[in-house]
Amino acid sequence: MVLSRFAPAPTGFLHLGHVVNAIYVWGLARAAGGRVLLRMEDHDRIRCRPEYESSILDDLAWLGFEPDDGLHPLLRQSDRGDVYRDALDRLRRAHHVYACECSRKHIAGERYDGFCRDRGLTDGSGRGLRVRVGSGVETFDDLLLGVMEHEPAGQCGDLLLRDRDGNWTYQFAVTVDDMMQGITDVIRGEDLASSTGRQLRLRLMLGGAGRPHFTHHPLILKPGGEKLSKSAADTGVRELRQSGLTPEDVIGRAAAAVGLIGQFTPVAAHRVADFFRDSPRGGRIHRASSR
Ligand SMILES: [Zn+2]
């Protein structure tokens, strides 16, 4: 059974980029007879706000995308400190987890050079936690991007699990949540494709059996080629609602923006599986799910 998740971060309002993700998540899951869970990725306590969360839930309901287990209880990463601490303890038993006091400024680029690995620092405030990442390549067959190879140690070095402010990192929280919720299909934007190798490695280090299938889908790009971020007049769902558009208009607009339809036509949330049912992509997720 395909089980996927829609996992917004309440750091802003819902925009067309989220709608594209919802189309792929619900569409691919439904086309395979599968289910969708909702998860609030509010691990960043500084940037997340309750008013964003309630607005996201409201817009999602208005669009017609319904999570299969409902919203009660709503799974929030901010409620899962105990779960992440347990996972951290599990990692500590088999791997080298160490405190790191390097600030982002001290780390040139994306890769951490292991400066604190053998310094024997004690855990404490103002210090993050990392796990040593060994060499080796992680390979996966992305539904849309094809076979990809990542080498986590070369790409990012030892992984940050908790940052210097005490926040669990995206990579760690997502890996633990996907494992514990039994997610079979991770469906997200192409901007997150590069995270996949390190999440697969972390899963392995946490003793995870099996691994999910990955689908990284196209993003809506602004005319300048940058990706959409915060809500704006022409892309924010609440602004589009206020301008009189229907849910079908908004979903159709998002589908057209990433080429799922040749030109705009209204699409209802319960019809998004039609994009994938008879396509080679839908067929592939079908076969993957029956493995
Ligand atoms: Zn360090």
CA of 82 to the centre of ligand 1 (A): 25
Contact 21, 6 (CB under 8 A): yes
Mean pLDDT of the residues in the chain: 91
Indicate the pLDDT class of residue 38, thresholds 50, 70 and 90: very high
CA of 98 to the centre of ligand 1 (A): 9
pLDDT tens profile 75-88: 999 999 999 999 99
CA of 101 to the centre of ligand 1 (A): 5
CA of 89 to the centre of ligand 1 (A): 20
How far is it, in rounded angstroms, from Cα 146 to Cα 157?
Answer: 25
CA of 157 to the centre of ligand 1 (A): 11
The beta-strand segments (E) located in the chain are 3-6, 35-40, 75-76, 97-100, 128-131, 138-142, 146-150, 159-162, 185-189, 213-217
Does 209 or 35 have the greater pLDDT score?
35
SS3 86: helix
pLDDT for 62: 98
Burial of 263 per CB tally in 10 Å (0-12, 13-18, 19+): exposed
Indicate the pLDDT class of residue 233, thresholds 50, 70 and 90: low
The DSSP call for residue 192 is G
- How many residues are listed for the chain in this entry? 291
CA of 126 to the centre of ligand 1 (A): 11
β-bridge partners, 258:
none
Q: What percent of the chain is predicted at pLDDT more than 70?
A: 91
β-bridge partners, 138:
150
pLDDT tens profile 58-117: 999 999 999 999 888 899 999 999 999 999 999 999 999 999 999 887 787 789 999 999
The DSSP call for residue 121 is P
Q: For residue 47, what are the CA distances in angstroms to 41, 52, 157?
A: 11, 10, 26
CA of 154 to the centre of ligand 1 (A): 16
Indicate the pLDDT class of residue 284, thresholds 50, 70 and 90: low
CA of 132 to the centre of ligand 1 (A): 12
Q: What percent of the chain is predicted at pLDDT more than 90?
A: 81
